[in-house]
Amino acid sequence: MWLRADGKTGPKRVLATEIRGAGYGFPNAWGIFVAEPDQLTFFANTFDTNGGLIGVQEAYTTGTADITAGDTNISVADNSDFSNGNFIAVFDASGTVAFPWAGGTVTGTPGATITLSSASPAAFAPFDGIVVNQYQALTYDFDAVNGLLTVSTNPGTGAGVIPVIGNVTALSFTYFDVNGTQIIPATPPALSFTERSLIRKIIISLTLQHATESSVTLNFTSDIEIRNNA
């Protein structure tokens, strides 16, 4: 078996939907968290990308009290859909967006409080316009030992590591800016925060080996426009 999705369009069909949604709902550069030649980690709202590979709908609730900068607790209508370790983003009617708090703790099931792992960096008001959403942190990685391209989610979802494409002998992610110029990390292998903010296109290159004929290989290249990183 070459691919979890059959056919020559398999790599693009399997990868493009999720990766194209990288950074949806987040400030510039925050959506893409790790950008290396053989690994890509990004935040995505899996509900708005139709479930994607993971098929996990994000938790959602509304605020019941204003949030001030420095708060470590959010008062919400219902926290029962959230779990320890979830990534969350907070919005208000003004359009303010807070970077998601990794490892936020939920108290009470069900209950009316979400305890943050770090203090709120901003104020959010009025409370009746506050929305709290869970987002997934998706990591695409190359498992060279088993010849797999895998995807995994942040802790707290229970989805674990999922094989996406098998019989992979080589994988590379190449990153480009708005002018089509390749972004070369100043300190390899990872792009810095500033360098990640420039990403507008990712090219994925895959080499697949036939399951029974090791001399037979196929090379796939997929260009993915990143729409939400500007």
The residues facing 113 across adjacent strands are: 75, 107
The residues facing 223 across adjacent strands are: 203
Q: Which of 49-63, 75-89, 115-129 has the lowest mean pLDDT?
A: 49-63
Give me the sheet containing 217-225, strands edge to edge. 168-176, 201-209, 217-225
**Which of helix, strand or coil describes residue 213?**
coil
**pLDDT score at 188:** 95
Closest to 68 (Cα-Cα) out of 122, 126, 115: 122
Q: What is the DSSP letter of 128?
A: G
Q: In the structure encoding, which two tokens stand for residue 184, read together?
A: 């070369």
**Which of helix, strand or coil describes residue 219?**
strand
Predicted TM-score (pTM) of the model is: 0.71
Q: What is the DSSP letter of 124?
A: B
Return the domain boundaries, the chain: 10-56+136-225
List pLDDT tens digits, range 193-228.
899 989 999 999 989 888 777 777 888 888 899 887
Cα separation, 34 vs 40, in Å, equals: 5
Confidence of residue 36 (pLDDT cuts 50, 70, 90): very high
**pLDDT score at 95:** 63
pLDDT(4) > 60: no
DSSP element (H, E) containing 136: strand 131-143
Cα separation, 214 vs 79, in Å, equals: 51
Q: Tell me if 211 sits within 8 A of 147, measured CB to CB.
A: no
DSSP string, 172-206: EEEEE-TTS-B---SSSSSPPHHHHTT--EEEEEE
Highest-scoring range by mean pLDDT, 17-21, 66-70, 155-159: 66-70
- Residue 202 or residue 99, greater confidence: 202
CB atoms within 10 A of CB 145: 6
